[in-house]
Structure 1
């Protein structure tokens, strides 16, 4: 054992606190108040810092959403204005295109009718010349017409012709002219002929046949109103 050793005595806590803070001797209540004040100050500081941080984050997020919403609204408005301007520009253009289509359709219809009329005129001239030279050909039309009627004896068939053509047929081919009962009908034009047999009457003239041919010609030239407008260029 060490000689001359003395036991150490710890000073009182109040003395230690007095030495640490000269001029004051706080009690337990003062320490508790200081702790409470420090906690409250830390709480207030944290609240203020959190509020400031949250406010900054909220402003930044709100700014981004506002910018995005503003851009979308501006885009929608620009699209709507563009559609309105396009509609305003397209209306007269559509009307012009419709007028051009109508005009083209009328021109094509008139052209087709001119072609049909020209063909019919030429055909009538050819038929007239042919019948003038060979009026007996009308009897061939009579024979063709009789094939579409019920069978009938030749002496029961009546054929009505233009008086001038009837005389020329009797002169040129009396044998064939005697086959049926040929009658003169002043109401019939040259090239026209009517046949009566078995209680039925049929048109054996050239006009009806020419009309059927012209209908076929007009059908072949059929309308093309649905063709694109560019095809007319």
Structure 2
């Protein structure tokens, strides 16, 4: 053995350089080397590639089928729900329409007897109203006659106002005038206003009822009695209260 203290450093370095030889580093190839066609490695690689491609195709087809089946199922479910909703809405609408039609038909059938009752009631009320108005007209005519009789009995000279009105309506005053009156009224007017008897030629006519008066001139003959005026008033009332009867 060498003594470290006795061997110089330069000698030791020269000895190591003589023993250790340098070793070169080998880098891996950048590309795989090509196999010779027809070699076992090439066959194995082709088999592996075909297997992988087949598995990929199989997986793609399975995924496609699964997705199609899932989409079809979901589409069926959505279509079913949508069809169920639309069918329900259409059923409700159609049911309401048919229900209204049936209800209206049933109501009309049930109300048919009521329609007959209403028609009978309306006919009865129309007849009642017609009779009520006719009775009212009769009452008005009866009361008016009584009032006229009482008024003429108390004031017989009021009939002379009718004579003056008739004469004033003539376009030309006649030279000769003759007034026909009821006998009793002629007597009382002669006592109340004898000058009118001579002026108008008041003459008693036993055929005339009380309140009646006729004015006879050279060219015309006028009925100025109370009955004639009462008939005119009653015709006006009938036109208002009984238009249908008046038209007939």
Do both share a fold (TM > 0.5)? Answer: yes
Instruction: Report the Cα distance in structure 2 between the residues aligned to 1:2 and 1:63, rounded to whole angstroms.
Output: 88
Which structure is larger by alpha-carbon Rg, 1 or 2? 2
2:225 matched to which residue of 1?
205
Mapped contact 1:162–1:186 kept (Cα < 8 A): yes
Query: Is 1:113 aligned to 2:134, yes or no?
Result: yes
Q: Are residues 124 and 45 of structure 1, via their aligned partners in 2, closer, same or farther at CA, if it must alter by over 3 Å?
A: closer
Residue aligned with 1:150, SS:
coil
Residue aligned with 1:159, SS:
strand
- Residue by residue over 1:140-199, the C-alpha shift from the partner in whole angstroms, topping out at 9 and shown as x without a partner, is 32122211112324x511212234543454455432111123344444222211112351
2:199 matched to which residue of 1?
179
- Residue by residue over 1:54-81, the C-alpha shift from the partner in whole angstroms, topping out at 9 and shown as x without a partner, is 2222222222211221121112111212
Query: Is 1:39 aligned to 2:66, yes or no?
Result: no
Q: Are residues 32 and 2 of structure 1, via their aligned partners in 2, closer, same or farther at CA, if it must alter by over 3 Å?
A: farther
Which of 188, 193, 203 is the aligned partner of 2:208? Answer: 188
Which of 145, 166, 178 is the aligned partner of 1:145? Answer: 166
Query: Is 1:56 aligned to 2:56, yes or no?
Result: no
Q: Are residues 5 and 217 of structure 1, via their aligned partners in 2, closer, same or farther at CA, if it must alter by over 3 Å?
A: closer
Q: Are residues 38 and 168 of structure 1, via their aligned partners in 2, closer, same or farther at CA, if it must alter by over 3 Å?
A: closer
C-alpha deviation, 1:7, in angstroms: 6.6
Residue aligned with 1:160, SS:
strand
Mapped contact 2:196–2:202 kept (Cα < 8 A): no
Q: Are residues 168 and 2 of structure 1, via their aligned partners in 2, closer, same or farther at CA, if it must alter by over 3 Å?
A: farther
Q: Are residues 34 and 173 of structure 1, via their aligned partners in 2, closer, same or farther at CA, if it must alter by over 3 Å?
A: closer
Unaligned runs of 5+ in 1: 19-23, 224-233
Higher relative contact order (CA 8 A, sep 6+): 1
C-alpha deviation, 1:207, in angstroms: 0.5
TM-score scaled by structure 1?
A: 0.71
Query: Is 1:67 aligned to 2:78, yes or no?
Result: no
Q: Are residues 6 and 100 of structure 1, via their aligned partners in 2, closer, same or farther at CA, if it must alter by over 3 Å?
A: same
Residue aligned with 2:47, SS:
coil
Query: Which structure 1 residue ranges, 4+ long, deviate > 6 Å from structure 2?
Result: 6-15
